[in-house]
Each structure stands twice: as structure tokens, then as C-alpha cells.
Amino acid sequence: MTGNTPQTTGAAPPSVAEVTSRLKAVMDPELGDNIVDLGMAAVASISAEGVVAIAMKLTIKGCPLRVQIKKDIESRLESHPGVTKVTIDWGEMTADERTAVMTRARWNAREQAPDTQIPLNTRILAIASGKGGVGKSSVTVNLAAALASVGNTVGVLDADIWGFSIPRMLGISDRLEARRIEGIEKPRMIPNERVVGEGLLKVVSTGMLVEDESTALMWRGLMLTKAVEQFLNDVHWGELDYLLIDMPPGTGDVQMGLARMLPRTDLIIVTTPSVSAQKVAIRAADMARRSFLRVAGVIENMSAFTCEHGESYPLFGAGGGQALADEIGAALLGQVPIEAAVANGGDIGEPIVLTSTGPAAQAFLAIAANIMNTTIPVTEMGGCTARDPEAVQVAISKRN
């Protein structure tokens, strides 16, 4: 029935409502919704001979799902006795239309996300990087300590399953234990805690499950995702103001699993000033875009080194953090200078924000204050926006 000549069926052609209803059964498997509600498909015309013309807009011209979507449309419509032929006019969405699609897709992901033990009012920040060696874990522990020091209850989830270092860097060596919680049927793991200033840190890591820090975890992709899932579902986190997640470097199984389980997560990308690090870090932003996560901002770590005489030396280059922020349309949350005390603090389990008033400590405290007090704007990346619809509505109401 999809050839050049319509076939006569004798049945009455379908109505627009009937065709639209059948199109709603065609799903975009990547975006998790039907092509009508996503604004991708509409009925262009229905002739008296039963020829149905569909106007179909893809997010990009070269969408690899085009063949599959075409087959699904034809099979759904051709099963109607009054349809003699199906034609599809292919087009490409505008930037605004793509924005609307991604907004709806992220909302769907939020609504369909599995339940976890993370309270709904907790702000979740995943500290990510394109590659290792940029000081992502140092950033995580110092931001967590800075947020807790002013009275917040901060969870720290060490999702770098293979390269766990958070327990040592926070000076917590106790193993995780399961206990029975009143009102909960099965035992739950309890995070290890550390009082920091006026607040509290609650920490979970695979480093608290092994015998010692030198033990190698030889786990493959599925086990990594399951470990993160267990930390979100089987840990009794209790009340949290913030949850900081120290992500493994790159864009693999853990990142994709987290996007599925906690779609309300905001991403903070850590990079160094060098252009090469910036080019790698942009992959983390691309992962966020594809997973409908919002990028809350960029932190440039290992910025210029200032000697005791006041001279500043950009040992790892300059401008990478701002360049990355500009390229992905995010805010540069801050620049952390090179200080030996940052590494030393991690080695002895005392984050520098708790022991120093130097430039690096002040930078971390300023970034934490920025996170707490600044409304992070909607982040647009490459014409495709991953937005929080609730935040958008709040912003619009304030503007009006």
C-alpha cells in the first residue's frame, strides 16, 4: 500500500482523529514518548481515496531512527481498512522545537524514574569530568565539607566504583553496616557520618565494603550500575540538603545508569585550564545533553600557581574552564588555584576548606556559596536544551 498507486479498499477513509490516535502508538525509543505528543508528527492531509499524508519532523536530518519510525508509522496506519497509501514528508525541527522536545523528554524521565531513598527535596549534584587526573574527587570532598560547614546535611556518594578515594580523603575508615530501621521491613545500609562545623556529612563508598584501600574491584559494566543502584535504593540516607556524587571519569555505564535513576541530577563538570582537558571535558556535557541532565556549571581546577613572592604561573595553561563554560553555555562557578595543601589534605583526610584560609580554600568556599545562593540559569547546548520545567515556570513567573 506504500507504492505510487493507491489501492482501492471500498472502506471509508479514516478521520484525522483516527490517524492521530494511531500515530500516538508510534514511540521515539530514545525520547521515550509518542511522536505526536513530542510534536514530531502531524496529519497533513487525508484524501477521499484514503491517501494519508504525514508531516514528520526529526530532531536532526540524519536521525538513525528514521527507518524504524517510518516502518512503525506505515504499519500502524496501513492496518486501517480505509487507508490506501501512506506518504511521509520528512523535515527537521527548529531549535525552538528541539528545545520543547527535550524539555518534555526530561520531564518524562523525571516522572518515570524509579523510586530511590534520596529525599525529593534534596539537591543532587554529580561532579563529573571527561577524563581522570583533573582533581574531581578533591573538588567533591571540599565542596561537600564547605556545604556542611555552614549547617547543611550533605550526602557524599562515591560512584567511582573502581577508583574509590572518598573515604581516605574525608578521613572515614569505618565499614558500611546494615541495620534494621523502625518501620522498614528489611535492613538498610547506614552511611558513615562525620560532623563538620554546624553540619553533617553522610558518606557511602565501595571503599567501605572492601578489606582495605589496596583491594582491586574487578567488576564489569552491569555490576557497576547495580552497585550505584544499591547505594540509592538500599542505603538509609535520611534527610539530606545536598547529595554530591563523585562520578567516575568519562561517559560510561555509571553515568547512563545515574541519568536513568536520578534524572533530577545537575552536573558540575571539572576541568583543568589546558585546552586539551577542555576538549575532553566537553564530552561530559554532551553526555548530559543526551541524557537530559542539566549542566549546573564548570569548575576549573588546578588553575594558576602563585608562589610565596606573589608571582602567578599558569602551569597547566590558561582559559580552559571559561572556554568550556562558553562552549556549552554554562556558568564558570569558580577557579581553584594549585596548592600542595589540597593534595596533602586529601592524603590525611582533612579537606583544605576545614584547615586553611588560603586561596584554594577560599575558592572552594566561594563556589559552595555560589551553589547555595545563586539560581543557576537554564543551560543550552548546541541548540538542544535539557531543562527542568518547574524551574522554567518559576523563572517565567518572576519575570512576569
pLDDT value, residue 4: 54
pLDDT value, residue 385: 33
pLDDT value, residue 384: 31
Q: Say if strands 27-28 and 33-34 run parallel, antiparallel, or are unpaired.
A: antiparallel
**How many CB atoms are closer than 10 A to CB 264?**
17
Torsion sign over Cα 230, 235, 239, 241 = negative
Q: Say if strands 199-205 and 192-196 run parallel, antiparallel, or are unpaired.
A: antiparallel
Q: Single out the residue of 276, 330, 265, 327 nearest to residue 299, CA to CA.
A: 330
pLDDT value, residue 183: 67
pLDDT value, residue 336: 93
17-36 CB burial, b ≥16 within 10 A, e <16: ebbeebbeebebeebebebb
Torsion sign over Cα 291, 123, 127, 175 = negative
Q: Single out the residue of 279, 1, 264 nearest to residue 108, CA to CA.
A: 264
Q: Does domain 111-399 have CATH number 3.40.50.150?
A: no
CATH superfamily, domain at 16-93:
Fe-S cluster assembly (FSCA) (3.30.300.130)
pLDDT value, residue 337: 92
Q: Single out the residue of 46, 56, 33 nearest to residue 112, CA to CA.
A: 33
- For residue 219, give Cα distances in angstroms to 65, 162, 225, 270: 32, 8, 10, 25
Domain ranges of the chain: 16-93, 111-399
pLDDT value, residue 61: 76
pLDDT value, residue 393: 39
pLDDT value, residue 213: 59
Is-above-0.85 flag for pTM?
no
Question: Would you say the CATH fold of 111-399 matches that of 16-93?
Answer: no
Q: Which amino acid is at 180?
A: R
- For residue 356, give Cα distances in angstroms to 258, 304, 305, 306, 338: 34, 18, 17, 16, 14
What cell numbers appear for 249 in the block?
Answer: 571519569
pLDDT value, residue 247: 86
pLDDT value, residue 159: 83
Q: Say if strands 294-303 and 266-271 run parallel, antiparallel, or are unpaired.
A: parallel
Distance of alpha carbon 182 from alpha carbon 316, whole angstroms: 52
pLDDT value, residue 222: 57
Tens-level pLDDT at each residue, the chain (400 residues) = 445 555 655 789 999 999 999 999 888 866 778 899 888 999 999 999 999 999 999 888 777 778 888 988 998 898 899 999 999 999 998 888 887 887 777 666 656 655 677 887 888 899 988 777 788 999 999 999 999 999 999 999 988 766 678 889 999 888 878 777 776 767 788 899 999 988 999 999 877 776 665 555 555 555 666 777 788 888 889 899 999 999 887 666 667 777 777 777 888 999 988 877 777 888 888 877 776 677 889 999 988 777 776 677 767 767 778 888 888 888 899 999 988 889 889 889 999 999 998 899 999 999 999 998 874 333 333 333 333 434 333 333 433 3
